[in-house]
Each structure stands twice: as C-alpha cells, then as structure tokens.
Structure 1
Amino acid sequence: MRTVDDLIERLQTHHLRTKETPLFNPVFQLGLDLSRSLEAGDIDLDAVEALVSELECDSMQSRASRLRRLVAPVDLDENTAALRNSLTSQDFAAFRSEWERPQLHAVFTAHPTFLLTPDQSEAVADAASSDAEIGTQACVTGAERPAITLEYEHGRAMRAIGHAQDARDGIVGELLSHAAENWPDQWHALNPLPFRFASWVGYDMDGRTDIKWYDSIGFRLSEKVQRLSRYIASLEAIDAAHPLLDALRPALAYAEARAADFGEDLTEPEALSAAANRLTADDPHKLLSLTPLIDALEAEARDCDVARALRLKTLAAAMRADGLGMGWIHFRVNSSQLHNAIRRRIDPDNTLDLASKGAMATLREILARVKPLRSNFAALAIESSTAIRQFLAMAQILGHVDADAPIRMLIAECEQPSTILAALYFSKLFGIEDKVDVSPLFETESALEHGGRFLDALLAEDSYREYAQRRGRVAIQTGFSDAGRFVGQLPASLAIERLQGRLSQAMEKNGLTGVSALIFNTHGESMGRGAHPDSFEDRLNWPLSPWAKRRFIRAGITLEPEVSFQGGDGYMFFATPKLARATLTRIATIRPADTEADAPTDPFYRRTELSLDFYRAIRSHQRAHLLSKTYSRAVTAFGLGLLNSTGSRVSRRQSDLSADREMSLRQIRAIPHNSILQQLGYPVNVIAGVGSAADGNYEDIAGLLEESERGRQMIRLVRSSNALASIKTVAAYGELFNSAYWASRPYRGTESHLSDACEVLAEYLTKDDRTGVFRRLASRLRVDALKLHRLLSLLPDEHPLEDRENIRRTIGAAQALRLALLQHMFIKVVSIPAFSRANDISREDVLEMVFTLRIDEALAQLRRAFPTDYPQISDFAVDAPTDYPDGEGEGYMAIRRDYIDPLERAYGLCLRLSTAIANEFGAHG
C-alpha cells in the first residue's frame, strides 16, 4: 500500500466484510494492516510521510473546491454583472434607503483557527480564485508552521480587511455608477454604505491575560497608519497632486511616529510618560476626524466630471465607513470583570447581590448623578481592574487616535441587566457614552433560556432607553460556540432565533422602534459553530433567519445584521482580491438585512405542537451527552493532543497528569471541543438527537421539515455533517486502548518481534477505561443514527455532496493511517529501556503522557532521561592516561535514533493528518 488509492481500495474491500460481520471495523482493520507493514519494515516513516503528503494535497484541493463553491462565481466581470442585475429599486429614495445602511457588518475575529500556514492558505485561496480545474496548485505539504502570536493574528486580520475594503470600494463604485446613470440629477446625494468592517483582534480580553493595555493602543495606532496609507494611495490614484494630500501625508508621518512609540515596551513610567505626552500633545498633524476631508471630497465631486466624481465619492464612502482605522473595533470583557469593577463603587464589602432589586436601584442612582472624569495614560497604567482599564483605553483612543469611529463593548456571559448598567456607568464616568455601544452576549444555556426576560427588564430601564436613543441602536451579541457545545447546534440556533424575536418585541414594547437593532451573530466557520456549509445564503440565514428578520421589519425597526469571519478559516473568504469581491457580491445580492415582510408564516413556527417537541427532544438528547461521563471521557481521551496549536489564546486550563483522566468539557474551549469531534470522526453536537427526536413520529416530522424552509435548512446542515461522519471511526479509537487487542496481536507467532512490547501494552492497559468508553459512545451514536437514517429516507436530499463516498473513504484512509502511527508511538514508548524516577516523573508517567498525546512533555522527559549532549573525554587536556571509558558511548544515541526520534516524527505526521481531516470538514473546530 504505497498510495492513497491503494488505501481506499483496501478500505473498500474491508467494508464488504461488514455485511457478514456487522461489528467488523474497516477503519481499524486498515490501521492494523498499515501498522503491521510499518512494524515489519515493509514500509517506513518516509513511505508514511508520502501518504500523508498525498492526503494533505487531496484535502487542500477539497478545501479550495468548497471555498470556490460557496462564493462562485469568482470572475470580476461576472460579479459586476451579478450586482448590477440585482439593483431593482424603482426610485432614488428607495435606492438610498437600501444602500445607505450596511447590509452586513463583518467582524474579523481571531479565535484559534489558524490551521493552515500562510503558504497553504495562499495556495488554497489562489486555486479557489481561478476558474481553472483545481489540481496540485492548491497543494503545499509539510509546511513549517509559524509561531501564532497575537501580532501574527492581527496582521492576518488587517490583510483580510484590506482586501475587503478594496472589494467594497468596487461595489460602492458600481452603486454610484448605477445611480448616476438612472438619476443624474440626484445621485450626488447618495452616500453608499453597503458594508462595515470591524475587528476585536488585540482588544478581546475575555479569557486571556496576555494582552497589555498599551498593546491595544499600539494596534489601534498601527491600524491608523495602514488606513491613512490606503487613503493616500487611493487619492494619489485619482490625482497625484490633489491638495488634500498635503493634509493626509503629514498626518500619516505623525501616526507612524506615535505607532512606533506604542510599539515599544511601556512598562516603565518614564517610557510611558514620554510616549503618552507625545500622543496627547497638540500637533497640527494630529488628525482625529475625517469629516472635513469627507466634506471636501463631496464638494469637489459635485463640481467635476462624472468619472472623477465617482472616484472621489467612493473614497469619501470608505472614509465614512472606516474612519481613522482599518475598521471599527470591539473591546470584549467578561461580565465577572465588570462586576468586580462596579463593586468598588457600590459594594466594597462584597455583600450585595448584583442581580437584586437593591443593586439595580443603586445603579440607577449612581447613573443619574455620575459626573464625567478626565483620564490620562498614567491613570490607565496604574489601573488594576481589567474592565475599567478597557474603558480608560477606549477613552484614550477616542480622545487621541480617532474621535469619530464608535467602539463596541462586548460583554461575555452577561446574564443580568445590572451588568449593562454597570457598563453604562463606566462609559459615562469616562465621558465616552456617546461613542460606545454596550453589547451583551447571549451564549450560555442560562443566558439563552432567560434572555427574553433580561431584554424586557433592560429595555424597561429609563437610563438604558435614553442611552439607546442617543446612540441610535440597541446592540446585542448571540454566540454559537459555547451554545452549540452545551445545547447542541440545532437547539442553540433555534433558541437564539427566539431570543432575537424577543428583542424585537421588547424594542416595540418600550418605544424603541426609532432606533436600529444591531445583532452580532458570532458563529465560527465550522458546522459545529454555526456556519452553515450548504450555501452562502444558508450561511447568512442560519444565524439570523427570515422569521426573526420579519419580526423587526413588521415592527418598523431597522435591522443591522453582523457576523464574524473567524481567524484563518474565516479570512479565507478575503484571502485574495477576487475572493473578497465574490464574497461581498454574494452578500450584496442576498441582502441579509432585508426580507419579505408579508411572506407567509413558515410552518415550522406555526405547527409548534410538532416543532417545539422536536426542538426539546434534540436539546434533551444533547444535554444527555453533555452530562454523560462517557461522552466527556471520550472527547477528552487524548486531551488536546489530536489538535495542532492554531492560535495565540490558550485552548485549555492547565492541569496535571491525573486531571486528564477526569478532564471536564468545561476545561476546554468550544473550538477545540468541536475540533476533537471532527478528529474522532463524528460531529456529535450537530447530528446527535435529530433521529431520536423523530422516533415514533417519523412521517409527521418529515412532513413538517419538508414543508418548512427552516426545517429543510436544518436538514441540509445535518446532511452536510452526516456525510462526513463515521461511527466506525469513533469505535476504532477506543480499540487502541484494548488490552485484549494488544495481547492477541502477536498470537500464535505472528509479529513475534513485537511480543515484548505488546505484552507491556496489554498489561498496562488492563486498567484503562477508554475502550469501554468509546464502545458505549459508539453504541449510543449508532442507535440515534439508525433513527436519523430512517428520518432522512423520508426527505429529499436537496444538495447531495459531490463525490460523497470518495470523500468519506479518503477521510477513512487518513484516520486509519493515523491509527497506525498512534500504534507505532505506543510500541516505541513501551520499548524504551526503563529509567529511574526523576523530578517526580516516572516511566509510567511518560507512558500516560504518550497515551494522552502530551507528546512534547513526554519527549522532554525522555531526552532528560537519555541525554546525548554530555562531556566527552576528548574535551579535557589531562596529562594522565586512562583506558576508561572503554565503549563508544553510543547507547543513548541509539535510543534517540530508534525510539525517541521516531516517536516525535510519528506525532508530527499525526498532526499533519489532523490538518487534512479538518480541511475535509471545511474548517478547524
């Protein structure tokens, strides 16, 4: 078996045996076949690496094909025509109304999903950007992974936003051109704003302590430098001698100097004082507002020819959208951080329940009488509270970097109105309430369950209504990561949808129909995090459904939808100018901010006697998994060792070796949780429960789902996930820890050279629980899957996955190859000679490290136990003769060569296979 085709052919042969032996596991058997070949020397790790490279290449081609399919067409002329054909407004007033507000706010977030290297991302994106057949040009295999720092993530975000800005300029130009052709006497009044961009990279403090406050200031200044550079380039392209360049160029030089100041280490008071004083001092080139420049460009456009006017107004539109940065910025804190901060003001003894009526009354009182305080960088430097520090940083940014662009304050795990009032208090205290949009995040099960009452109570507060009216919007955030992990993706999406409907009711009830509803749906890029993979229209309508949108439109509330494009996966949509233009064109033609107000009610919302029971049954099934020790143990069986490091934010809390055995799902974040499900072969949080929820009522449920667009959308998501899923693979991972398997493997003289290693493994694993855990989980999944297949057989497959069986077999081949590598690692580690305990680490601890794939730690201990870098006799100039040492001293070198280095190499190949499998699923986690 030297090629992937060979592996697939063998896997197909093994699949035939399941007819006669249903419990036969083709994936594990192929893994055993490969393991036997590897241990017998028929193939070596070089041959395995060749197979891994082939699978990597196939997965990158698959990823490029999927990306192209979602945004196609990618040709610029075709996208220009598609946009033009979609412009159907009959009068200028309607056209202005449609395009002078964002159809979508796009936020470039950076949770840890930087799976591909820059070279791999570029290859996939370039292949997807062309109409040519996707072949080996999409392949970069074995690429060295860069260190994923916050600076790296920020740089990638800015690169994606830069492409998005250029694409938006192209669309704005088309909108202006259309208006100029159709309404030549009115078009100058059009100020298009089809998209707005933002980022929280460098400003998100939820769950991390590694971002210093001056990092955030430095990032914002660097963004100002980038944006001014891009404005200058755009204006120079229009007119290299344009008089406004005399203002922009010195402003750029000034911003570059200040960015350099805040790019330094400012922990010492002297350094901070110098940088702060230069930034806060008056300077003729300290540009804080683009309003005068926008006015000048608009005025000039009214008095020049149409061609020049179009370009001037396009530049003015970009300035209006982005301000003095690459986009708007989102700071993020946790509600507990805000609670700790407000207690210093109202409850220093920590005796007050912040959810109580007494706390609310106190907050109303201090909000009514708070007087703004001046603040400076010294106050920011000495502040110990994370939440207050964020407000102080926002005050300095608004005061000294960009006075126009508002800032979002996202509050995670926000479950009580007092948290929002606390945020309003600090906004008012530091004089920035007119520029800060406070946005609660609804993501936990509790927040989704009680979110409606939360919104009713919050919008009934006079102080909040006054604030919302001043800002012109009510902003909320709904999250699909933890929600999808702890509730299940389908129930989470439906719960979020109901919460969105409750927001429209609360706004209408409390007289807030005159302000916008800005709903930030922070899904990721995988199915497990709320990114519907079937089409771009499904991607946009899944987190904010037409039913929810109609609730706002019928109430007369302007809707501002906002979504995230997350990390390395999300940035792929903007990785090239062509992809960025195609992505924004798809969005512009779908019009996610609009829907038909008078469309008939979807049966899913009308026949609630069926749909609610269906929803509750799926949620109950998902909850049972979450509470099950079997599920938790299976998901954490390898720790996070199946996953590459894909971001600067840590993926789990620290724990010792013994803690891995009882690791809670709450110890790992949503992205790695979903990634592990991909790697184990079955996206439980997407698929599980759908079949069981239909049990006993298949025909009625199938009839409802087929009749309902929302129902069909749910089934399209389930089918997309199920098409890649394999319960046999889940079961196969458990067999790695089966003592009986290892005891039987050299039975009757087969593989006698492995007898000692297999005996050690068999004896050691007699006390291991993972075989039973995986078997129980696979059994539960199988029963549910049988019911799912019965339901799906009653429903049409609207968009069957192209080449489905080959993709499944390819994933199966990758899984089998990794199973062989894991067995190779297990055999190698138990074959290493015994060594003495040191630093409280024993040989058994090292074995457990390998079995939980904490390989870096295991390698460090093994290299300590078997050093190869030690003093040689020849290093010394000693006159007296010696005959000792009389050996060559190669013993430890041989152990390194024969055991430790192969262990490291095999694990590296495992991680490359993890990348390939994630690519086949379309995203990391």
Structure 2
Amino acid sequence: MTLALETVAQLSDRLHDLHARTRETPLFNPVFQLGLDLSRALEGGDTDLKGIEALVAELECASLKARARRLQSLLAPIAPDDGSSALGEFLTKTNDFAAFRARWESPRMHVVFTAHPTFLLTPGDMRAVADAARSGSDMPSDACQPSGKRPAVTLEHEHGEAMRAIAHAQNARSQIVREALEHAAHAFPGEWMECAPLPFRFATWVGYDMDGRTDITWSTSIRFRLSEKAERLTRYADDLAAIDSGHEQLARLRAAAAHAAASAEDFAGDLSQPQALSRAANRLTADDPAKLTRLGPVIAALEDEARGASDTRRAISLKTLAAAMRADGLGMAHVHFRVNAKQLHNAIRTHLGDARGLDLASKGAMAKLRGMLAEVAPMQTNFASLAIESSTATRQFLAMAQILAHIDADTPIRMLIAECEQPSTILAALYFARAFGIEDKVDVSPLFETESALEHGGRFLDALCAEEQYREYARRRGRVCIQTGFSDAGRFVGQIPASLAIERLQGRLAGAMERNGLTDVAALIFNTHGESMGRGAHPSGFADRLTWPLSPWARSRFARHDIALEPEVSFQGGDGYLLFANPELARATLTRIITDSPEASAECDDPIYERTDLSLDFYRAVRAHQRRHLRSKTYARAVTAFGLGLLNPTGSRVSRRQSDIRADRDMNLRQIRAIPHNAVLQQLGYPVNVIAGIGSAADGNYEEIAQLLSSSARGRQLLRLARASNALASIKTVAAHGELFNSAYWATRPYRGTEPHLSPACETLAEYLTNDDRSGVFRRLASQLRVDALKFHRLLEHLPGDDAPENPQETRRMIGAAQSLRLALMQHIFLKAVSVPVFSRANDISREDVLEMVFSLRIEEALAQLRRAFPVHFPSPADFALDEQADYPDTRNEGYAAIARDFIDPIERAYALMLRLSVAIANRFGAHG
C-alpha cells in the first residue's frame, strides 16, 4: 500500500504512528523509518524532487512562523504604547531626584553587536519574522516564500547589518531618554535639567576582531570607523534639523560628516603603494575646518541652549540629542578590537631585548614588564608606522592610536584579549597602550573562555589586581574590564558547568577588587552568551536572558563591597539582530532590559550557594561528564562525521580550518569553531553540551539534588535551560544519522525484490561502507546519551513541572519530519553518487575521492569534480574563426548532458533542499550556533 506523504500534516501523523511501534520494539527508529518511507517514494517515482520541495517549503514556513511567535513571546508587549506604559511604571518608582539621577546616568547595560557565523536567515526571512513579531499576529504564508539564492555573508554584509541594528537601537534609546526627561521635568521641575541620562551604551567588533581571521586589515578597521563616523554625524545632523532646521551647529555637523565620508572613500582604495597611503593619510591628518575629533564642545553648546530654552519640549529634545552624543561619540557605537594572547606574546617579545626567551608565565617576566612599564615613554606614530608594522597585535594598538588621534579623540576603545591566562599578558597590553600614548582611552579586557582560564581565573585576577601599575591604570580608566561566557566555554566545559564556573569567577573578581582597594572603580563584565543554548541566550524569557550571564549571586558579590557594576552582553547575528530588526522590536528590547534588570542587592540567600556540599559535587560531576564526551573519539567523530556539510555558510569568518579529503575521519573538534559546533549538535538532533551529564550527576541522589535545584532560583534557571533544550532533542535522530552508513541496511534494502531498480547502487554502497566507522560511532554515542537521558528523566520525575516547556510534542514532530525528509534526501544523494558511471582518474581526483566527499557532505567539492570528469561542453572547431574548413572532429554529441541531468543536477538540487531543511531545524531551536 502506498503511503500518503504529500503534506507535513501527513508526515507528522505517520511519525506519530511510528513512535507507537517503539513500545513493541525498543530499538525501532521512527525517524529513520519515515526517512526510508520518503526515500522509497522518491526512488520509486511516487514523488519527485519537486514534491519534496513542496514539503520543504511547508516546513520552512512553519519554522519561520514558530520563530516569529517565539520572538513575540520573548518581548511582549511590543506595541509602543505598551512599552511607554511599562516604562512609565518603572519611572514612577523613584521619587528622589538624586536616586533618579543615579539610576539613569549609568548604563543599565552595555549592548555589543557582534557577528561571527550566525547570520542564519536571509534578509527577506529576517524581515518577515520581525514584521510578524512586530504586528503581534501570525505570519502570513505568502511572507515566507523562498526568496531566491542566499546572499553571501561577507564582512561588508555583517557590518551593514550591525549598523542597521545599532541605528534602530539608537532611535529606541532616544525615545526612552526623551520619556525619562519628560517624567523628570514633571516630577522634579527645579532639578531635572541637571540630569544627563545614559541608560545604554552600544558597541561592535564587526571589522575590528582579528582573532581567528586574516581577512580584516588595519585599513578595513580605519575605513569602517570613518564610515561609521560619517553615518553617525549625519544622523546627529538630521536629529538636530528636526528640532531646528536653521540651527547654527548644523553646518558644522554636516561638514564633518562629509569630511569623514571622503576619508572613508580614501581608505577603501588600494593602499598597497606608499604614495596612495600617503594621500589618504594626509587628507585625514591635515588640519581642516571640517575635521571634528571631539564632540564635547557641541554637547556643551546644546545643553547650554537647553538650559536657556523657554520651551520645555525644545529643551528636552536638545538634551535627548546631547545624551545620544555623550553615549556614542563620533561613531555609530564604541568599538572592540580583539587579538589572541599568543599574538600579544609574540609582539612583546620583540621589546624584551636580551630577555626575549623569558617564560611569560614566570615571576621574572612580571618583574621585567613592570620595569618596562615604568620606563616607557609615549612614542609618536603615524600611518606609516601602521603600514609597515608586521605584528598583528602591535598593529591593533597603532590603529587605535590613529583612531584616537584623528577620528574620535574622546570615545574609549576596548582591547579584548582572547585565551588570556597570564597577568603578564595584560601588562604587555598596557605597555603597548602606554608606548603609543593611548593608555587613558583603552580598556584592556582579558577573556576567560577555556577550562583552564575559568578554573584558575581567580588567582589570575588576584595577581593582576595586586599589581600597582594595573591599579593606577584601572583608576585612570575608572573600571576593571573582563569578558566571560565566551563560545569556547560552552564548547569545552559544557554549557551548564561553564555558567556555574563563570559566576564563580565573577565573584572572585569582586573579592580581588575589594582586597586590593579597587572598590572605587566599576567592574565591567562582558558576557557573550557562549554558555547558553545554541548561542541564542537563555530561551525561557527575557528575565532569564538578563540574569543568566550575571546571576543575582554574582551581582551581590559586588553590591556588598559597593563596587559599581556595568553588565555587558552581546546581541549577535541571527538571534540578537532580530531583537533590533525594526524600530518597534528595538524599543521593546531596550524597554524590557530596563524594566526587567534586577536591582543591586548585597543579599542572596539562594540555597544552591549555601549547600556547597551538594552543589559543588553536582557541578563537578556534570563537568566531568562533559569532559569525557569532549575527549572521546566517539563524540568527536560523530560531530565531525559530516564536517560542516549540514550547515549553510552564515558568516564571513571561516568556520573550519582546511583539511584534505580524508582528514575528516580524524578531525579534531578544535578544527570546527565553537558556533558551528553548537549548530552541528542541533542538526544531529541532540544538544549534548547543554543536556549531557545532568542526569548522571544526580545518579544515586535524585531526591536531594531535586530538592536543592527546585528550592533554588538559580537551580530552576539551570533546569529551564536544560528542559528547553531537552524538549527539542531526539536521541533517535542521532542514531538515525548513523544508519546512513550501515552497510547491512544498504545490503538488505532491495532484499526480496522490493526495490530491484536500486540493487546495483545499494550493493555498491553496502560494499563501500563495510569498513566505514560512522555507523558504529553514532550507535555508541546514542547509547551513551540514552543512559544519561534515562537518569535525567528520573531526576525530572522528582521535580515540579512548572518550568517545563508547553506542549513540546508538536515541535518535536516538526523537527522529526524535517530530519526524516533530510535523511531521505541524503539517501538520494548517496544513491545518485554511486550510480555515476565510473570515470578515469583526472587531476589527481579518483571516484573514491568523490564518494568520500559525498559521504562527508562536501557536496560542492564533489560536484565540481564530477563536472570536470563529465563536462557538458567540449571545445569545438566552431569556437575558432578559421578560414580553412575541417570535418574532424565531430563534437556534436560528445557532451555528458545525460549524466549531468540524471545524476549531477539531482545531487545539487537535493543538497540545496537539505540546507533549507537545516535552516528550518535551526529556526525551531531559535538560533544558529
């Protein structure tokens, strides 16, 4: 009997029926069986790739609608009037003007717009999701039709998306500042003019992050900074013109914008020749009436005018614009440069003289760097210094020096140092900052991301804060900056243990600052959500999103020592930029941050921090379980079984390091970057680095662990993350991927004559895959995950179900349908690949090499080789304009058009449909990465 599998509803129903069979046969795999049903229909002619595409489109649309609903739920209420109402309630909580100023004159949050490979949605799909979320209604089906070819996600694309999101954020912040000032003018009529609101600062590292990439040159960063300056000055001028079209400052702002834009064009050109660079640099550095490097005088003039204004509305408008200028300076946002600690070590060694072989982790290195810091005098630099410098790290400091000298002299710059595990690294950074005269404008920030850094970071911070020169520097800057929660924390430690280790490190920072007399400066803690579910931050709501990276306990450590705290988080790529995709969403996002951010409190009586006999053992057990996976060849082989072939390219930074054709068999997890690693786990069906280990850590002590977690606000938050991830997870799906490489499956598929037309191809696959390890790898991994999952569900039985996701079954079935459909397409690709006629070795690529590419989903490479082996067009005598005629050769029928039509083109089309399904699956998870 032919199954009806022509709609997603029919796929869902069939999957539901197949799941019931697991009661009879526990090893039965409904996901793979549905994939086989679809494969038989496709290979038997009951459907074709056009019919499959209709199912893909339906799943795509449903996934976009689900993502829009999730966004609505996260931010609701979104309507501007509702946002103003919520903000109004918040404003009325403060009746004292001094308290009002304290609350509004320091940032509620620093918001960083980052990139990396997280631009999952096409621009059209992103707009459709954002528009649906803004409207509060379900997305119409005609809004999620395929929008053609996915655009390449280049650095320019990422930068443009960042600037668009920041512009929406700026407008939303100005609306909020205006409402705050209107309230102040009414509530504090004699004092409100002294208030200078600064509820948010924005920053970006798109175009300034050198860690892990070589495609961003120093001139790229200079060009971006100049273009951002031109854009921001234009926006300031437009805002001022809306207040007063004849304002005396307008000409100054517009001239400065034109000057910056012209210099941006200069630095966009080819600067490889000294003459070209000299022309660009001389225009930028020359004295010019239009050149503006400080906004302070403009801000002062606007605020003086506001004080003298007889019209309160005009005064509020002028102060709102001045507040924006104070927050952003001469750019769209503050900028974060980033280098790796190794790059900084290489740079400082050239300045160590005879001690260049010194171990930088030693006390001798610290003593040497102290002496160097004490003796170094600022050096004058120019663009030639920048052009001829070969050290990446030194180049970054030189670029910052030129930005501060000639583009924006007042706005500080962050220098993030990745994989920073030694205090000497920070002293090396301070040396370069002092040597180039920018120490008073650069915030050096170590990143704590590796297991070692998180484990030993407390000692690092103690040692750093004990350094007198660092304390002097921190007081000069007014803050101590660190970065936590980075992607590698979630990858190599596991999401749950990483979060617990991070908050412990944050608490250690508070202690180090108190012990070393740094309570008079602020602590700026940047968290990039790397320890969250799929890099999309905490999925359960905005309150969780705000307290997940900086918990109430961590905040209390600073509050008890009266240390001002400046939280900073990233909003990146697809998930983060959606929150700022249009003005209404941006306003709702910033409003939620203001109204839902926890107030500072020195008290935190959460039992998870009191019962350390239980909580520390629980943390260590989960971490140990995650470590076993990450050090296991089984796990590494499963995650890398398809390379990155299940993912669309979604960022300008390379997602994997290059390897040869057969290197995938021994690929190390470090060859795949952290965000794609998270994304691959989603595509395989089980977010191991979120869920794994929780059940095993509770084994033998379920009741006591359950009681601790359920009585703890932080424990319930940890469980909400795990439950949200588990609601989307399927171990059967993990196992199903392994069955693709099961030689016995292919050998028996046409058994008893059910699919005789596939017998040759199945026989070839069975023979080829006899020695393939992936079937066993996925089977072992699924078994390991199953044992741990049984224990996790046993723990859940001891917990209240209040925090469980609502009705996960529909979402599970939609993901299952997408997975089954993709498995059918993968089988189609495998069958087509082995059916391609044998071709001779050409260009050092054999048929076996091409098959290896196909089985690792390096499809584009495989197609390129197949097209070289079977060209559709050959050179012809007709290509030549010769007077003399010839009868030989006759090339009219020599092309391999039939092979292209029957094998190569279907592989290409099936793979494109596979990638569309990958996007649908990622949308159900809520983030890519």
TM-score (norm 1): 0.98
2:400 equivalent to 1:394: yes
Corresponding residue to 1:14 among 18, 25, 32: 18
Q: Which residue of 1 aligns with 2:512?
A: 506
Q: Which residue of 2 aligns with 1:302?
A: 307
**Partner of 2:872: helix, strand, or coil?**
coil
d(CA) in 2 for partners of 1:668 and 1:779? 24
Q: 1:10-45 CA deviation, whole Å, 9 max, x = no partner? A: 111111111111110000000000000000111000
Contact 1:57/1:139, CA 8 A, preserved across alignment:
yes
2:698 equivalent to 1:694: yes
Contact 1:530/1:542, CA 8 A, preserved across alignment:
no
Contact 1:691/1:785, CA 8 A, preserved across alignment:
yes
Q: Which residue of 1 aligns with 2:659?
A: 655
How far off its partner does 1:874 sit?
Answer: 4.8
Corresponding residue to 1:567 among 565, 573, 578: 573
d(CA) in 2 for partners of 1:70 and 1:678? 21
- Given residue 504 of structure 2, which amino acid in structure 1 is its aligned partner? R
Q: 1:97-126 CA deviation, whole Å, 9 max, x = no partner? A: 011000100000011101111111111111
Structure 1 residues 327, 520: CA separation in 2 closer, same or farther (over 3 Å shift)? same
2:847 equivalent to 1:843: yes
2:817 equivalent to 1:813: yes
2:803 equivalent to 1:786: no
How far off its partner does 1:512 sit?
Answer: 0.4
Contact 1:846/1:861, CA 8 A, preserved across alignment:
yes
Q: Which residue of 2 aligns with 1:174?
A: 179
Q: Which residue of 2 aligns with 1:67?
A: 71
**Partner of 1:225: helix, strand, or coil?**
helix
Q: Which residue of 2 aligns with 1:713?
A: 717
How far off its partner does 1:146 sit?
Answer: 0.8
Corresponding residue to 1:108 among 106, 113, 117: 113
2:928 equivalent to 1:921: no
d(CA) in 2 for partners of 1:881 and 1:162? 66
Contact 1:550/1:597, CA 8 A, preserved across alignment:
yes
Q: 1:367-418 CA deviation, whole Å, 9 max, x = no partner? A: 0010000000001000000000000000000000000100000000000000
d(CA) in 2 for partners of 1:896 and 1:142? 26
2:379 equivalent to 1:412: no
d(CA) in 2 for partners of 1:118 and 1:798? 37
Q: Which residue of 2 aligns with 1:50?
A: 54
d(CA) in 2 for partners of 1:44 and 1:63? 29
How far off its partner does 1:262 sit?
Answer: 1.2
Q: Which residue of 2 aligns with 1:83?
A: 87
Structure 2: 5+ residue stretches without partners: none
d(CA) in 1 for partners of 2:911 and 2:234? 44
- Given residue 778 of structure 1, which amino acid in structure 2 is its aligned partner? A
d(CA) in 2 for partners of 1:150 and 1:425? 31
d(CA) in 2 for partners of 1:874 and 1:433? 70
Q: 1:327-366 CA deviation, whole Å, 9 max, x = no partner? A: 1000000000100000000156742100111111000001
Contact 2:641/2:856, CA 8 A, preserved across alignment:
yes
Corresponding residue to 1:375 among 365, 370, 381: 381
**Partner of 2:518: helix, strand, or coil?**
coil
Q: 1:541-589 CA deviation, whole Å, 9 max, x = no partner? A: 1110000001001100000000000123211100000000000000010
Q: Which residue of 1 aligns with 2:469?
A: 463
2:481 equivalent to 1:475: yes
**Partner of 1:713: helix, strand, or coil?**
helix
Q: Which residue of 2 aligns with 1:254?
A: 259
- Given residue 577 of structure 2, which amino acid in structure 1 is its aligned partner? Y
Q: 1:175-223 CA deviation, whole Å, 9 max, x = no partner? A: 1111111100000000000000000000000001111101100000000
Contact 1:480/1:492, CA 8 A, preserved across alignment:
no
Greater Cα shift, 520-529 or 603-612: 520-529
Structure 1 residues 510, 881: CA separation in 2 closer, same or farther (over 3 Å shift)? closer
Corresponding residue to 2:606 among 596, 602, 607: 602
Q: Which residue of 2 aligns with 1:153?
A: 158
Corresponding residue to 2:320 among 304, 307, 314: 314
Contact 2:61/2:144, CA 8 A, preserved across alignment:
yes
Corresponding residue to 2:202 among 193, 197, 205: 197
Corresponding residue to 2:743 among 739, 743, 762: 739
2:857 equivalent to 1:853: yes
Contact 1:761/1:830, CA 8 A, preserved across alignment:
yes
Structure 1 residues 884, 431: CA separation in 2 closer, same or farther (over 3 Å shift)? closer
- Given residue 869 of structure 1, which amino acid in structure 2 is its aligned partner? H
- Given residue 167 of structure 1, which amino acid in structure 2 is its aligned partner? A
2:140 equivalent to 1:140: no
Alignment of 1:716-795 (within 5 A): 716-795=720-799
Corresponding residue to 2:278 among 261, 273, 279: 273
Contact 1:484/1:528, CA 8 A, preserved across alignment:
no
d(CA) in 2 for partners of 1:355 and 1:267? 38
Contact 1:113/1:647, CA 8 A, preserved across alignment:
yes
Greater Cα shift, 566-575 or 469-478: 566-575
d(CA) in 1 for partners of 2:703 and 2:352? 58
Greater Cα shift, 744-753 or 261-270: 261-270
Contact 2:496/2:690, CA 8 A, preserved across alignment:
yes
Q: 1:491-528 CA deviation, whole Å, 9 max, x = no partner? A: 00000000000000000000000000000001259613
Q: 1:843-883 CA deviation, whole Å, 9 max, x = no partner? A: 00000000000111101110000011212455566866748
Corresponding residue to 2:359 among 350, 353, 360: 353
**Partner of 2:537: helix, strand, or coil?**
coil
Q: Which residue of 2 aligns with 1:119?
A: 124
d(CA) in 2 for partners of 1:796 and 1:187? 49
How far off its partner does 1:76 sit?
Answer: 0.1
Contact 1:262/1:275, CA 8 A, preserved across alignment:
yes
Contact 1:681/1:725, CA 8 A, preserved across alignment:
yes
Contact 1:120/1:143, CA 8 A, preserved across alignment:
no
Greater Cα shift, 299-308 or 558-567: 299-308
Corresponding residue to 1:907 among 871, 895, 911: 911
Corresponding residue to 2:346 among 324, 328, 340: 340
Q: Which residue of 1 aligns with 2:295?
A: 290
2:676 equivalent to 1:676: no
Q: Which residue of 1 aligns with 2:390?
A: 384
Alignment of 1:502-541 (within 5 A): 502-523=508-529, 527-529=533-535, 531-541=537-547
Structure 1 residues 141, 524: CA separation in 2 closer, same or farther (over 3 Å shift)? farther
d(CA) in 2 for partners of 1:524 and 1:581? 25
How far off its partner does 1:800 sit?
Answer: 3.7
d(CA) in 2 for partners of 1:891 and 1:757? 24
d(CA) in 1 for partners of 2:562 and 2:758? 74
**Partner of 2:568: helix, strand, or coil?**
strand
Q: Which residue of 2 aligns with 1:238?
A: 243
- Given residue 556 of structure 1, which amino acid in structure 2 is its aligned partner? D
- Given residue 338 of structure 2, which amino acid in structure 1 is its aligned partner? R
**Partner of 1:101: helix, strand, or coil?**
coil
Greater Cα shift, 242-251 or 192-201: 242-251
Contact 1:484/1:530, CA 8 A, preserved across alignment:
no
**Partner of 1:574: helix, strand, or coil?**
coil
- Given residue 207 of structure 1, which amino acid in structure 2 is its aligned partner? G
Greater Cα shift, 798-807 or 24-33: 798-807
Q: 1:285-304 CA deviation, whole Å, 9 max, x = no partner? A: 11011111111111111111
How far off its partner does 1:798 sit?
Answer: 2.6
How far off its partner does 1:801 sit?
Answer: 2.8
Structure 1 residues 811, 107: CA separation in 2 closer, same or farther (over 3 Å shift)? same
- Given residue 172 of structure 1, which amino acid in structure 2 is its aligned partner? V
Q: 1:620-658 CA deviation, whole Å, 9 max, x = no partner? A: 100010111100000000011111000000011111012
Q: Which residue of 2 aligns with 1:898?
A: 902
Contact 1:518/1:562, CA 8 A, preserved across alignment:
yes
Q: Supply the RMSD in Å over aligned alpha carbons.
A: 1.3
- Given residue 711 of structure 1, which amino acid in structure 2 is its aligned partner? G
d(CA) in 1 for partners of 2:906 and 2:25? 35
Q: Which residue of 1 aligns with 2:227?
A: 222
2:450 equivalent to 1:444: yes
Corresponding residue to 2:491 among 476, 485, 491: 485
Contact 1:480/1:530, CA 8 A, preserved across alignment:
no
